[in-house]
Structure 1
Amino acid sequence: MLSIFSKIIAGEIPSYKIAEDDNYYAFLDIAPLVEGHLLVVPKKEVDKLFDLDDDTYAGLMLFAKKIATALEKAIPCNRVGVTVIGLEVPHAHVHLIPINGMGDMNFANPKLKFTPQEFQATADKIKAQL
């Protein structure tokens, strides 16, 4: 059975896509901790990050770096935090989160709610920096 991320990549479930190439896909998290919180995933469906083959893992990190650079330009922040938790979806993924302090990455915090227009505006700001 395909993960929700594979369905997003395939276009079966809509997303606020930031970028994609042949192997990776980046999109806004629909339950963000802060504006600009996004996910970067390999198109290859593998449950655990460290189960990815070396080339896919390295490529994922390089793709995430490109996205993080654009994210930091688009959303004012001290830096872009990176985390991998991987419990909620059985598909390897990296969270990129614009942060100004450690508390911005606390997944126990309430998730923000944005309108579709606000999500699209955020996606457009990030894409403009790529």
Structure 2
Amino acid sequence: MTLFTKIIDGQIPSYKIAENDRFFAFLDIFPLVEGHVLVVPKVEVDKFFDIPDAIIGELLLFAKPIAKAIEQTFDCNRCGISVVGLEVPHAHLHLVPINSADDLNFNRPKLKLSPEELKAIQQRIVAAL
């Protein structure tokens, strides 16, 4: 069972943004920038392009309103999207408010936000959905 499955199942707390029967979106607790959201399929698949064809397109449709909410909530040029998938063996995509390509540089130091800051960010995004 992956870390993300434990989050989806509620065994590990998270700052949930959205959920349906196939997908779960939550704040990255070590974000590149404020508003960094992870979107994962509930089915455990290691590599993004191994997600079954029947649901890979639905993943983007699930992520779309979240990306729009991020763009409304944060001062950014757009919501960037990235698939890296090296840290957790459970396919996922990153939605990140960006103003330049460097904002998607995963080698940069991550932010260390307090639970109160994360909760406030969660509430702002959810309110914009």
Structures share fold, TM-score greater than 0.5? yes
Which residue of structure 2 lines up, in the alignment, with residue 65 of structure 1? Answer: 64
Paired residues for 1:39-118 under 5 Å: 39-118=38-117
* Gapped regions of structure 1 (runs ≥ 5): none
Tell me, in whole angstroms, the C-alpha distance in 1 between the residues paired with 2:57 and 2:116.
34
Tell me, in whole angstroms, the C-alpha distance in 1 between the residues paired with 2:54 and 2:48.
12
Tell me, in whole angstroms, the C-alpha distance in 1 between the residues paired with 2:23 and 2:126.
15
Secondary structure of 1:95's aligned partner: strand
Tell me, in whole angstroms, the C-alpha distance in 2 between the residues paired with 1:62 and 1:55.
12
Tell me, in whole angstroms, the C-alpha distance in 1 between the residues paired with 2:73 and 2:18.
14
Structure 1 residue 66, shift from structure 2 partner: 1.6
Letter in 2 for 1:9: I
Secondary structure of 1:55's aligned partner: helix
* Gapped regions of structure 2 (runs ≥ 5): none
Structure 1 residue 17, shift from structure 2 partner: 0.4
Runs of 4+ in 1 over 6 A off after TM superposition: none
Structure 1 residue 8, shift from structure 2 partner: 0.1
Tell me, in whole angstroms, the C-alpha distance in 2 between the residues paired with 1:80 and 1:46.
24
Moved more, 8-17 or 66-75: 66-75
Secondary structure of 1:113's aligned partner: coil
Letter in 2 for 1:8: I
Identity of aligned residues (%): 60
1:38 has 2:37 as partner:
yes
Letter in 2 for 1:117: E
Which residue of structure 1 lines up, in the alignment, with residue 18 of structure 2? Answer: 19
RMSD: 0.7
Equivalent residues, number? 129
Tell me, in whole angstroms, the C-alpha distance in 2 between the residues paired with 1:87 and 1:13.
20
Letter in 1 for 2:15: Y
TM-score, with structure 1 as normaliser: 0.97
Tell me, in whole angstroms, the C-alpha distance in 2 between the residues paired with 1:118 and 1:99.
19
Structure 1 residue 116, shift from structure 2 partner: 0.3
TM-score, with structure 2 as normaliser: 0.98
